[in-house]
């Protein structure tokens, strides 16, 4: 089965076109070799690809006859992605949410003044501690 069809069948990507674009950008490797969308995969192959800032590593266990349900996808693949990758993604999400909420746009003058006051206050505290 083609690599683009396989990744689509085991539900890593929503459309085959998305997988094709990722392959054209050289983000997919099969057994350590960069794969074109038409690369054939067989049981036992290691597939590595990058999606949402995570490098996924999967092993092909079997070839699905067609697109399978999400609950059945684990029959055809073994996910060997390190847990640290998912933890790193969570930290990125939390750090972005901490700074500004999504959809608030650019900082206002009031936001900027608040930031300046906060920085000024912390600098004063540090100077007091050194004395």
In the prediction, which pLDDT does 43 show? 92
In the prediction, which pLDDT does 111 show? 79
**Domain presence at residue 49:** yes
In the prediction, which pLDDT does 122 show? 61
Q: Encode the chain (131 residues) as per-residue pLDDT tens digits.
A: 889 999 989 988 899 899 899 989 988 999 989 989 898 999 999 999 988 888 899 999 999 988 888 888 889 999 888 888 888 888 877 766 556 666 677 778 887 888 788 776 665 555 555 55
In the prediction, which pLDDT does 100 show? 60
In a shared domain, residues 66 and 123: no
Looking at the chain, which runs of residues are DSSP E strands? 28-30, 33-34, 46-51, 54-60, 77-79
In the prediction, which pLDDT does 57 show? 92
In the prediction, which pLDDT does 115 show? 78
In a shared domain, residues 72 and 17: yes
In the prediction, which pLDDT does 102 show? 61
* Residue 64, SS3 per DSSP: coil
Q: Is 112 exposed, middle or buried (0-12, 13-18, 19+ CB in 10 A)?
A: exposed
In the prediction, which pLDDT does 51 show? 86
In a shared domain, residues 79 and 29: yes
Kindly state the DSSP code that residue 40 receives in the 8-state scheme: B
User: Left if phi > 0, otherwise alpha if psi is -120 to 50, otherwise beta: which for 79?
Assistant: beta
In a shared domain, residues 105 and 79: no
**Domain presence at residue 94:** no
In the prediction, which pLDDT does 131 show? 59
Instruction: Tell me the C-alpha distance between 131 and 126, whole Å.
Output: 9
In the prediction, which pLDDT does 59 show? 93
Instruction: Tell me the C-alpha distance between 93 and 13, whole Å.
Output: 21
């Amino acid at each position: 089965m083609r690599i683009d069809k396989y990744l689509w069948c085991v539900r890593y990507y929503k459309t085959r076109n998305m997988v094709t674009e990722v392959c054209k950008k050289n983000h997919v490797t099969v057994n350590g070799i960069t794969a074109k969308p038409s690369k054939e995969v067989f049981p036992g192959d290691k597939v590595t690809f990058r999606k949402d800032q995570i490098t996924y590593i999967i092993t092909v266990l079997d070839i699905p006859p067609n697109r399978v349900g999400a609950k059945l996808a684990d029959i055809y693949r073994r996910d060997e992605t390190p847990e640290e990758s998912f933890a790193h993604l969570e930290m990125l999400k939390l750090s972005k949410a901490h700074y500004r909420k999504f959809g608030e746009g650019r900082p206002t003058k009031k936001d900027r003044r608040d930031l300046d006051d906060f920085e000024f206050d912390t600098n004063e505290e540090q100077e007091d501690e050194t004395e």
